[in-house]
Structure formats: C-alpha cells, structure tokens
C-alpha cells in the first residue's frame, strides 16, 4: 500500500474499515428502514435526528468493552477562537448516548414520556475485520421517562411487529426477554452480590458473567470449571476461575442451564396433563414447548413456556428481593403481551439473554432470527441476533442529576438486511433504465425526446451519453446497466418513423440457453411504430414484473 514515490497522486481508496454502498444496497436499506419507521410511527414514536458529532464530554465512556477513555471513538480537538484546550469533539458511537444528551438538553420542550426513533450511521474506531466496518447503521427506538415496564413490553411488541413488517415471517424470529434484576438475584443468592457494598465481589462477579456468556462455546462443564478452580483449554492455556464453592456453583449452574430445566418442567407438566386425562394434542404441545429448535409450533405451548419460565425463575431467586422484583416485572411484561396476543412463539422469556452493555438496569431483550443459514465453512447455523436492548435508568442522570427511567431497542440494520437477502425477501426496486442508443450524433435532441416521453410515462430511461462511435460499447453499457430494453433508431428507422426495440432480458436468456444459430435470428428484437413506443414498453415492462 506504500505510495508510489514517483507519483504525487492521492490513492483512490476508502479509509480502512469504511466502504461504499451502490444502487440497490442503498435503496433496499432505505426501503427497509422506511417500513420500520412506519411501525414505530404507528406506535406513537417520533423521529429524531441528532448530529453525527457530539462533545466527548456528552458522549461519555459507555462504549462496550473499552477501558481506555475515548478509545473506540473517532475524536479530535475543537479548533477556533472560542475553543478551550479541553474541548474535544467525537463521532457518535451509538444512538443512545446522543438521545440521553438530547433529552437532558430539551426536556422542558419534550413530552414525558418521550418516545423517539432514530436511524443513521454510527462510528467505531476499532480494528476492522471481514464484515466488520467502522461505520454502520443503527435503527433505535426508545421511551424516555416511563418507569412502567409497560414501556418495555411495548418495545418488545413493536420489535416483533417491525420484523414481520420488513418480511421476517412469524416463526422465523424470536424476541427473547430477560431481566438484569433476576441475574442480580441469582448472584445475590449465590453470595456474590452485597447490596450494602456493591463493589465487594466485583472481581468474582466479572469472572462469573464472562463464564456464563461462554456457555454456547464451552458447554456446562467448561462454565463449571471457570466458576470453580479454573480451566485449561485445548492449547494448554490456563484461565483462572472464580474460586466459588460447590453450593455457589450449583446455584449459578441452575441459572446457566435454565432453558434445559424449564423444558424439563414443561415435560413434567405434559405428563401431568396426560395423567389428568387431557386431550392428546394439549399433551404433545406441552412436551414440544421446551426445545428451542422445535419450539413455537403452537400458541398453546408458547403460553406454557412463559408461565413455566417465570415459575422456574421465581424458584431460583426466591431468597433475593431484587430477584423477586425482577421476576415480577417479567410477569407483568408477559401478561401485557399475552393480552395483545404475543406469546412465547414471538416473545419469549429466556434467562440466557444477558446483553453486554454495562448500563442496563432491568429488562433486557434480544431478537434472534431462528432460520438456518450456511456459515463460511458450509456448516448450518442459526442466523442469530439482529436486535437488542433493555432498560437503562441512569443515562440521563449523568447530565441532570435526576434519575430518568428509559428503555429501548437497537436494530442491527446491516445484519437484518443481510437476513432479508438470505431469505429472498428483498423486493428490490432496482431495475436498469431503458437505454436509448445514439446512432446519429446530430440527432441527440430526438433521442432525448424519446427518453422524455418514457419518463413522463413513469419509465426509467436514459440516452447513452458516452462516445457513440462504437455501437458495441453502447450495447455493453446497456448490459452493464441491467437495461430491460435498448432502443435503436438509425436513419432508415427514422425515415420510416419506427424504432427497433431490443429485449435484453430475453436476449440474455437466449444467449444463456440457445445455440449460436438461434441467437443469430435475434428473435428478441422487434420493430415498433415511433408513436406506439411508450404504450408498447409500458405493457412489456408490466409483463416483466
């Protein structure tokens, strides 16, 4: 990448970790975001667009997984006469930190609660990798100033609606809900949280949370080792454990394998139903309910899951007040959602959802797409998470000193769009233009008249504006543009007041499937009277769909 010393020319390159989006990449995303905005709007959320640039002071240091101040953000020193040496500006790294600033700044003019949505790019000054960029889109919805968990329930319902609106059918997604308070309750019960001295078990708690987060990769044996004496990995490296006692480990492991245990309860429940002589269908529904892969087949099993999960969690944290509070909040959320017809086939209580961000204080949510795709090594795997969020009651307090309850969700726009592409559910609006070729350079005005007429009829159309000398180049251009048709009018056609229409879609199909002889006949080209052109193309384009 070294610059050629002989040349003073700049390199035509995006900076590392940045990229350009072309054509349908831009318009498909815009169309998807417009649909999501429609759902958010219907839920009473208002649009907000804050600037890309904030003071470093206002942004704060909430970027996940970053210990150094301002690391992870693009920041620079403010210049100018009025600027003080300490004034630093930075590009926003998410849409939540700016919302907290906006709400604190404009709180006297904004309604309370304030429901807002925001869509736009955010920036992270991180090491880029494959598929990992330093600028990407987020799409957030938050409710500020509502302490009620009805606000959390509303966000979950809206997220489910938004996913369906953009084309993820019911059954292909699941919104998982948990509550940080339940997790804290588990830690309390296991003797790892002292409300009188929250910093007391900080180290152990950190190790425990990181261990829980690794269940998918290490399995329950691995997590157990990390909670106890430590774990040696395949390469022989040793990871220090939290050094917990066996009863502490047991408490926590019940939480870690909660999904399995809830499923056992459901099976038990089903057997009970059988013994009680309930109809077979209800029995098998109940038995089905537990496993993620087969889960969600029926509303009945979905209803059972959320009730069983609550009962299980209530058991687990019954000795912790915080834990009981968390379960009660989840119960209210469940009931509010159930009253609107959202059951665990769409919105599911799931203890495995932890969410990395430090600032969550209550309910947390995550939307996963459950259909399978092939990963880069050809293995099947679930598509996975496309959105996440939760309650964060302390972000605005940074500015005002007053606690302002808030909750919200952020959709990973690029991942959701990739999922829609994967499922063939992007109805791309991109069709190439009809290309009018230039046979006679002096008759440019005539060709312009043709495209003018086509455009007025709503048909995307353009005149070839390159050097018209080489007709082959014009046809290559039309191909590259994805043109459905090329229009040709030379002096002969002009004299007879007709044009030639080349059907490039049909032509491409023939070229792909036919012999040279067939191709020579060029059946995909026909003549049409100049006056009939617009009507004819309108009909043909409608046929192509």
* Residues of this chain, 47-66, that bind a second copy according to CB under 8 A: 47-55, 57-58, 60
Binding test (CB under 8 A) with a second copy, winner from 220, 340, 470, 509: 340
Indicate the SS3 state at residue 500: strand
Taking the complex as a whole, the smallest distance from the CB of residue 175 to a second copy amounts, in Å, to: 16
Taking the complex as a whole, the smallest distance from the CB of residue 34 to a second copy amounts, in Å, to: 8
Binding test (CB under 8 A) with a second copy, winner from 130, 197, 217, 339: 339
Binding test (CB under 8 A) with a second copy, winner from 35, 62, 66, 78: 78
Taking the complex as a whole, the smallest distance from the CB of residue 487 to a second copy amounts, in Å, to: 13
Q: For a second copy, give the closer residue by CB, 55 or 239.
A: 55
Q: For a second copy, give the closer residue by CB, 52 or 299.
A: 52
Q: For a second copy, give the closer residue by CB, 146 or 270.
A: 146
Pairing of strands 434-436, 461-463: parallel
Pairing of strands 347-349, 173-179: parallel
76 binds a second copy (CB under 8 A): yes
Indicate the SS3 state at residue 347: strand
Q: For a second copy, give the closer residue by CB, 220 or 400.
A: 400
Binding test (CB under 8 A) with a second copy, winner from 35, 62, 66, 148: 148
- What would the x/- binding string for a second copy be over residues 191 to 220, using CB under 8 A? ------------------------------
* Residues 218-247 interacting with a second copy (rule: CB under 8 A): none
Distance CA 243, CA 252 (A): 13
* Residues 382-401 interacting with a second copy (rule: CB under 8 A): 398-401
Distance CA 92, CA 97 (A): 8
* Residues 417-456 interacting with a second copy (rule: CB under 8 A): 430, 433, 435, 444-446, 448-449, 452, 455
Which range in 21-29, 162-170, 258-266, 273-281 contacts a second copy by CB under 8 A?
21-29
151 binds a second copy (CB under 8 A): yes
Helices (H), 345-470: 397-400, 413-422, 444-456
Which range in 120-128, 208-216, 368-376, 522-530 contacts a second copy by CB under 8 A?
120-128
Phi, psi of 105 (to 5 degrees): -75, -40
Q: For a second copy, give the closer residue by CB, 15 or 277.
A: 15
* Residues 27-46 interacting with a second copy (rule: CB under 8 A): 27, 30, 34, 37, 41-44, 46
462 binds a second copy (CB under 8 A): yes
Taking the complex as a whole, the smallest distance from the CB of residue 154 to a second copy amounts, in Å, to: 7
Helices (H), 67-201: 96-106, 150-166, 180-189
- Using alpha carbons, select from 40, 45, 138, 122 the residue that is nearest to residue 388: 138
For residue 318, the tally of other CB atoms under 10 A from its CB is 12
Binding test (CB under 8 A) with a second copy, winner from 5, 15, 85, 131: 15
Q: For a second copy, give the closer residue by CB, 203 or 465.
A: 465
* Residues 161-180 interacting with a second copy (rule: CB under 8 A): 161
Taking the complex as a whole, the smallest distance from the CB of residue 433 to a second copy amounts, in Å, to: 4
Q: For a second copy, give the closer residue by CB, 193 or 438.
A: 438
Q: What is the DSSP letter of 245?
A: -
Where are any strands of DSSP class E within 331-440? 347-349, 363-374, 380-391, 406-412, 434-436
- For the CA atoms of the chain, what is the radius of gyration? 30
Distance CA 511, CA 524 (A): 10
Structure token digits, residue 466: 């390159």
Binding test (CB under 8 A) with a second copy, winner from 4, 6, 13, 472: 13
CA 458 to chain centre: 33
Pairing of strands 347-349, 363-374: unpaired
Q: Are 409 and 391 in contact (CB under 8 A)?
A: no
69 binds a second copy (CB under 8 A): no
Q: Are 176 and 365 in contact (CB under 8 A)?
A: yes
* Residues 249-308 interacting with a second copy (rule: CB under 8 A): none
- Using alpha carbons, select from 296, 320, 309, 407 the residue that is nearest to residue 355: 407
- Characterise 116 by phi-psi region: left (phi > 0), alpha (psi -120 to 50), beta (else): beta
Residues 6+ apart with CB under 8 A from 323: 181, 182, 184, 185, 186, 188, 189, 313, 316, 317
Peptide bond into 236 cis (omega under 30): no
142 binds a second copy (CB under 8 A): no
Taking the complex as a whole, the smallest distance from the CB of residue 409 to a second copy amounts, in Å, to: 15
Q: For a second copy, give the closer residue by CB, 186 or 461.
A: 461
- Characterise 427 by phi-psi region: left (phi > 0), alpha (psi -120 to 50), beta (else): beta
Binding test (CB under 8 A) with a second copy, winner from 35, 62, 66, 74: 74
Taking the complex as a whole, the smallest distance from the CB of residue 528 to a second copy amounts, in Å, to: 21
Which range in 111-119, 167-175, 217-225, 235-243 contacts a second copy by CB under 8 A?
111-119
Pairing of strands 434-436, 485-488: parallel
């Amino acid at each position: 990448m070294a610059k050629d010393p002989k040349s003073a020319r700049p390199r035509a390159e995006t900076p590392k970790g940045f990229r350009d989006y072309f054509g349908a990449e831009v318009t498909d995303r815009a169309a998807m975001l417009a649909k999501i905005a429609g759902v958010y709007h219907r839920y009473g959320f208002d649009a907000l667009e804050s600037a890309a640039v904030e003071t470093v002071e206002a942004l704060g240091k909430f970027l996940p997984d970053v210990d150094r101040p301002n690391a992870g953000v693009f920041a620079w020193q403010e210049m100018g006469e009025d600027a003080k040496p300490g004034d630093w500006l930075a590009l926003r790294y998410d849409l939540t930190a700016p919302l907290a600033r906006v709400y604190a700044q404009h709180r006297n003019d904004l309604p309370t609660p304030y429901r807002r949505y925001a869509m736009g790019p955010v920036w992270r000054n991180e090491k880029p990798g494959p598929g990992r960029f330093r600028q990407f889109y987020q799409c957030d919805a938050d409710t500020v100033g509502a302490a009620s968990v009805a606000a959390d329930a509303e966000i979950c319902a809206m997220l489910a609606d938004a996913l369906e609106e953009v084309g993820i059918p019911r059954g292909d997604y699941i919104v998982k809900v948990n509550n940080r308070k339940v997790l804290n309750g588990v830690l309390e019960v296991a003797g790892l949280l002292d409300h009188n001295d929250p910093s007391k078990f900080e180290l152990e708690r950190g190790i425990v949370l990181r261990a829980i987060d690794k269940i998918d990769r290490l399995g329950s044996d691995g997590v157990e080792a990390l909670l106890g004496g430590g774990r040696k990995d395949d390469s022989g490296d040793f990871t220090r454990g939290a050094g917990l006692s066996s009863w502490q480990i047991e408490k926590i492991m019940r939480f870690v394998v909660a999904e399995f245990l809830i499923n056992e309860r459901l099976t038990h429940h089903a057997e009970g139903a059988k013994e009680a002589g309930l109809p077979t269908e209800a029995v098998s529904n109940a038995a089905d309910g537990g496993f993620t892969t087969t889960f969600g087949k029926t509303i009945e099993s979905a209803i059972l899951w959320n009730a069983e999960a609550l009962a299980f969690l209530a058991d687990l944290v019954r000795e912790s007040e915080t834990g009981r509070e968390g379960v009660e909040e989840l119960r209210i959320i469940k009931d509010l959602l159930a009253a609107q017809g959202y059951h665990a086939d769409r919105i599911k209580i799931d203890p495995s959802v932890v969410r990395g961000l430090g600032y969550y204080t209550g309910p947390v949510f995550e939307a996963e797409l459950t259909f399978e795709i092939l990963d880069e090594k050809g293995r099947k795997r679930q598509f996975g998470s496309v959105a996440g969020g939760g309650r964060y009651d302390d972000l605005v307090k940074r500015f005002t000193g007053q606690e302002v309850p808030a909750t919200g969700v952020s959709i990973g726009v690029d991942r959701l769009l990739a999922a829609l592409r994967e499922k063939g559910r992007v109805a791309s609006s991109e069709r190439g233009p009809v290309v009018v070729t230039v046979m006679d350079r002096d008759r440019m005005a005539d060709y312009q008249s043709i495209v003018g007429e086509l455009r007025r009829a709503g048909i995307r159309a353009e005149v070839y504006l390159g050097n018209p000398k080489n007709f082959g180049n014009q046809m290559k251009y039309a191909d590259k543009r994805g043109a459905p048709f090329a229009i040709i009018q030379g002096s002969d056609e002009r004299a007879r007041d007709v044009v030639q229409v080349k059907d490039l879609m049909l032509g491409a199909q023939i070229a792909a499937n036919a012999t040279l002889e067939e191709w020579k006949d060029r059946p995909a080209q026909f003549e049409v009277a100049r006056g009939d052109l617009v009507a004819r193309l309108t009909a043909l384009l409608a046929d192509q769909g």
